Structure 1
Amino acid sequence: MARFDLSDFEWALICPLLPNKSRGVARVDDRRVLNGIFRVPRTGSPWRDLPERYGPCTTVYNRFNRWARAGVWVQVFEALAEKSPDSMQFIDSPIIRAHQHAASGKKGRRSRIGRSRGGLSTKINAMVDHRGLPVVITLSPGQGSDKAAVAGLLAAHPAPGEVVADRGYDARAILELIAARGGRGHIPTQRDRKAQRSVDPAIYRQRNLVERFFNKLKHFRKVDTRYEKSAQNYLAAVLIVCSHLWARYYESAS
C-alpha cells in the first residue's frame, strides 16, 4: 500500500457510504480512484501530477468534481460524524489564504472568497466535539464575521450541549440561540464591556481541542491554501480530510 492510501479498515468503513451504480458502464476501481482523491488534499499537488498507479488523472478529478456537485462528500462526512455525542462542542474559524488561481474564478457568494487584512481568503467555520473531531463544517468569506456563521453551525446539530467559543463570538443573540436549541454557551465577554461574564476555566481550557483540529487540517496542503475556485469543491476537499480524520479515529478505537 502506497503512502496516503486508505487502509483496509478505512476502505471498509467508507465503501458502503459511496453511491451505488446499478446501471450503465461499471465504474473503474473505486478504491484506486479514492486513493487518488484522498492523496491530493494531503500533498497539495495538481490533479494532473497524480502518479500513474491511480489511473488517468481526469478520471480521478472528474469523480471528485462530480461527487462534490452531488453532495456525496457531505453525505460521507455526515455519516461518519453522526455518532458524535451531544455533550460538548467547540466553535472557531481560521482564515485560509486563497491562491491567486482560486481567486480568478467566479466572484460573489458562490466562491466564498473575501478580502481580509491578509488579502483574498476564506474562513472555515467548524464545530468539533470533546475529542476534537469535526461535527459541522461551513465556509464563509474571509472578511465575514465569526458570529454570522454560528446559526449555520447550530442548525446542523440537533442538540449542541455545552458550546464553548472565544471572545470573538460574544453576543447576547448567540447565547440565546444556543439556549433555544437546548444548549448552554460558555463564551467570555469582550474585555471592554462593563459587565463581565465569567466562564469556568476548566471548561474554557478545553477550547484547545478546536485549535488542535485546525492544526491537523493545515497538515493537508490543499486545505491550508485554497486552490479550488468554487466553494463547493473547496468544501469537498475539507470534508474529505475530515472524513479521513474520523476514519482514523474509528480505526484506532477498534
Structure 2
Amino acid sequence: MSGRHDLTDAEWAVIAPLLPNKPRGVARVDDRRVISGIFYILRTGTPWRDLPERYGPRTTVYNRYNRWAKSGVWLCIFEALAERSPGSLHLIDSSIVRAHQHAAGRKKGGEDHAIGLSRGGLTTKIHAVVDGRGLPVRLLLTPGQASDKTTAPELVAPLGLTGDVVGDRGYFGQAVIAAIEASGATAHIPSQSNVRVVRSVDRDLYRQRNRIERFFNRLKHFRGIATRYFKTATNFLAALHLASTRIWIRTNESTT
C-alpha cells in the first residue's frame, strides 16, 4: 500500500539511474521504499521514530539518509537535475526558517551547524539561486543572522553564471556585483538609498523575483524544512536538496 507522499513512477524513473551502484554481492534494501520513507519524513515533519511500518525499519531509512547525506549522494542527484537549467536568467534570495529546540540542542564546538540567533529566535537562513523558471540550481545554509551581502559571493561564484542575475537591495555591494560579473553575467541589483551613485533595475526584470519567492513557498510545503528539525547542517542541507529534487521533477513532469 503506497501513500500520497511516496515516489511516483515518473519520479523513480528519474532518481533510480542516479543512485550509487550496489556493491557486488551485497543486496541493498529496496531503494524506492526507503527514499519514499525519507520523503514522508520531509513532507510531514514526522519524527523518525514515528515512520509508518510500510517503509520498513526506521533505523534503515534514517541510516541510509544520514550516510548518503554525508557522502554527497543527495547533492549529486540534485546537481544532475540542476545542470539541465538554462542560463539566461537567475535570481538570488534567502529565507529564514526557525530551528526546533531538538535541532538547536546540539553539543557545543565542532562543526558549524548554521544555527544562529536572530529576531525569530534560533534560526537558519537558506540562500538560493534559481533559474528563470524558479527552479533551484544552488543552495547554501548560514546562521539566521548572516548577511545576504556577505554570503552572496560564495553562493554564486562556483556557478559560472551568464545572462542576467537579479537580486534585491540586500545584495547591493561591490563584492557581490564583482562575483556575479566575473564570469560574464550582468548583475541587476538596485542600490540602497544611502549611496551617491544610484543603480536602477528594469521594472519588468525586477518583477521576476517573484519566481524565487514562489520557490521558497514550495520548499516550505515540506514541514520538515519549514521548521528545521535536523541537528546538523549536512543533514538539513541534504533535506533541501531532496525537496528541490522533487520540485525539479514535478515541474518538468507538468510541462512535458
TM-score scaled by structure 1?
0.96
Moved more, 215-224 or 172-181: 172-181
Aligned to 1:238: 240
Deviation at 1:216, TM superposition (A): 0.6
Give the secondary-structure state (helix, strand or coil) at the position aligned to 2:159: coil
Moved more, 105-114 or 95-104: 105-114
Aligned to 2:13: 12
Q: Structure 2: how far apart are the matches of 1:10 and 1:23?
A: 26
Q: Structure 2: how far apart are the matches of 1:194 and 1:146?
A: 22
Equivalent residues of 2:153, 2:175 under 8 A apart:
no
Residue 46 of structure 1 aligns with an amino acid whose one-letter code is: P
Q: Of residues 138, 141, 145 in structure 2, which corresponds to 1:139? A: 141
Deviation at 1:230, TM superposition (A): 0.3
Deviation at 1:195, TM superposition (A): 2.5
Moved more, 49-58 or 187-196: 187-196
TM-score scaled by structure 2?
0.96
Equivalent residues of 2:165, 2:185 under 8 A apart:
yes
Aligned to 1:177: 179
Q: Does 1:224 align with 2:235?
A: no
Q: Structure 2: how far apart are the matches of 1:177 and 1:62?
A: 38
Moved more, 13-22 or 171-180: 171-180
Which sections of structure 2, spanning at least 5 residues, go unmatched? none
Deviation at 1:80, TM superposition (A): 1.0
* Deviation beyond 4 Å, 4+ runs, structure 1: none
Q: Structure 2: how far apart are the matches of 1:94 and 1:106?
A: 25
Give the secondary-structure state (helix, strand or coil) at the position aligned to 2:46: coil
Equivalent residues of 1:106, 1:230 under 8 A apart:
no
For 1:75-154, list aligned pairs within 5 A.
75-107=76-108, 110-154=112-156
Residue 247 of structure 1 aligns with an amino acid whose one-letter code is: I
Deviations 1:112-158 (A, max 9, x none): 11111111111100000000000100101111110122122212312
Deviation at 1:232, TM superposition (A): 0.2
Aligned to 2:191: 189
Deviations 1:46-101 (A, max 9, x none): 01111111001111101000000110010000001111011010000111111111
Q: Does 1:59 align with 2:31?
A: no
Q: Structure 1: how far apart are the matches of 2:158 and 2:27?
A: 34
Deviation at 1:189, TM superposition (A): 0.7
Q: Structure 2: how far apart are the matches of 1:177 and 1:111?
A: 25
Q: Of residues 203, 212, 215 in structure 1, which corresponds to 2:214? A: 212
Which sections of structure 1, spanning at least 5 residues, go unmatched? none
Moved more, 141-150 or 7-16: 141-150
Equivalent residues of 1:134, 1:242 under 8 A apart:
yes
Aligned to 1:47: 48
Give the secondary-structure state (helix, strand or coil) at the position aligned to 1:219: coil
Q: Structure 2: how far apart are the matches of 1:222 and 1:177?
A: 32
Aligned to 1:73: 74
Give the secondary-structure state (helix, strand or coil) at the position aligned to 1:199: coil
Deviation at 1:197, TM superposition (A): 1.1
Identity of aligned residues (%): 60
Q: Does 1:27 align with 2:24?
A: no
